[in-house]
Amino acid sequence: MIETKRFYIIEAIEEDIETIIGLENHEDNRDFLWIGTYEEHKAEIEDKNHLLFVFRQKVDNSIIGYALIRLDFKSEIFELRRIAISHKGVGYGKEAMIALLKYAFENRNINRFWLDVYPDNLIGIRLYEGLGMHRDGVLRQSYKSKRGYLDQIIYSMLKNEYYESSYISLSSN
């Protein structure tokens, strides 16, 4: 379990899957996420190379977000495949990202944390850049969706960058 000021980040269980799918399908999230099926999320819960986390509010234990991580143990890589928050504009995304970066580097001792984001997800891009993540490049038209062929911007942070940055002091606790 990862604790932040306002919520807990815990491993999802099968009973959380419907809520996760609801978050993925929410109008504020669906254009920026690949949406998984019940079976895919269940497999992610069972797969040792994935972590499916839910964010539970301390005040009422309700799920306010989730994150899907793929771990590459050999190369010490932490890939944030998906993150979604139900309450926009209150800092939950930043709080979750700071906690996930801290968990990845300090608890998992990974070397590289990375993610991809669609170019029209301006809120996400501002957040990642504001946290000091490096823009590695663009995978041009790498994903086909209902909206057409989409580019994906790659952002990353390396272990040495994390420990050298001022963001290490931005503890979300």
78 - beta bridge partners?
71, 113
Q: Which residue has the higher pLDDT, 85 or 36?
A: 85
Instruction: Output the average pLDDT for the chain.
Output: 92
Per-residue pLDDT, averaged over 146-167, amounts to 91
Q: Look at residue 87 in the predicted model and tell me its pLDDT.
A: 85
- Residue 70: C-alpha distances to residues 44, 76, 77, 80, 113 (Å): 9, 11, 8, 7, 10
Q: Look at residue 97 in the predicted model and tell me its pLDDT.
A: 97
- Per residue in 91-139, pLDDT (tens digit) is 999 999 999 999 999 999 999 999 999 999 999 999 999 999 999 999 9
CB 127 within 8 A of CB 97: yes
Q: Look at residue 173 in the predicted model and tell me its pLDDT.
A: 44
- Residue extents of the structural domains in the chain: 2-169
Q: Look at residue 165 in the predicted model and tell me its pLDDT.
A: 83
Q: Look at residue 28 in the predicted model and tell me its pLDDT.
A: 77
Q: Is the pLDDT of residue 172 over 80?
A: no
CB 38 within 8 A of CB 21: yes
- Per residue in 13-55, pLDDT (tens digit) is 999 999 999 998 777 776 677 788 899 989 999 999 999 999 9
The alpha carbon dihedral of 35, 106, 47, 142 has a sign of positive
Q: Is the pLDDT of residue 167 over 70?
A: no
**2-169 is classed in which CATH architecture?**
3-Layer(aba) Sandwich (3.40)
Number of residues that this document lists for the chain: 173
- Per residue in 132-156, pLDDT (tens digit) is 999 999 999 998 888 899 999 999 9
